Structure 1
Amino acid sequence: MLVIILILLLIIILLWALRNPIKSAANKLADQTNRLLGYHLLPTTIGSFENDIEDGLTSSQFDLEANLEENDNRAGLKDKEEILKIMKKNNVSFDEARLIRQKRLLRKNGIDPDTGLPLDPKFVSFGSSQ
Structure 2
Amino acid sequence: MIILLTVFILIIIVCFLLRKKIYEVANRGADQMNRLLGYHLLPTTLGSFEDDIDDGLTSSQFDLEANLDQNDQRAGLKDKEEILKIMKKQKVSFDEARLIRQQRLLKKNNIDPATGLPLDPKFVTFGPSPSESSSSS
Deviation at 1:85, TM superposition (A): 0.2
Distance 1:65 1:116 in 2: 30
What is the percent sequence identity of the aligned residues?
75
Deviation at 1:37, TM superposition (A): 1.0
Which residue in 2 is equivalent to 1:96? 96
Asked if residue 36 in structure 1 is aligned to residue 49 in structure 2, the reply is no
Distance 1:52 1:32 in 2: 25
Deviation at 1:40, TM superposition (A): 1.2
Asked if residue 123 in structure 1 is aligned to residue 123 in structure 2, the reply is yes
Deviation at 1:32, TM superposition (A): 7.0
Structure 1 residues 35, 78: closer, same or farther in 2, change over 3 A? farther
Gaps of 5+ in 2: 1-22, 133-137
- Match for 1:127: what amino acid? G
Deviation at 1:47, TM superposition (A): 0.6
Which residue in 2 is equivalent to 1:83? 83
Say which is worse superposed, 114-123 or 97-106, in terms of deviation.
114-123
Note the aligned Cα RMSD (angstroms).
2.0
Deviation at 1:108, TM superposition (A): 0.4
Trace 1:41-120 onto structure 2 (pairs within 5 A): 41-120=41-120
Distance 1:52 1:61 in 2: 15
Deviation at 1:42, TM superposition (A): 2.3
Deviation at 1:43, TM superposition (A): 1.5
Deviation at 1:35, TM superposition (A): 5.0
| TM-score relative to the length of structure 1 | 0.72
Where 2:113 maps in the other structure, the secondary structure is coil
Structure 1 residues 35, 79: closer, same or farther in 2, change over 3 A? farther
Gaps of 5+ in 1: 1-24
| TM-score relative to the length of structure 2 | 0.68
Deviation at 1:41, TM superposition (A): 1.8
Say which is worse superposed, 119-128 or 47-56, in terms of deviation.
119-128
Distance 1:66 1:32 in 2: 36
- Match for 1:100: what amino acid? I
Where 2:57 maps in the other structure, the secondary structure is coil
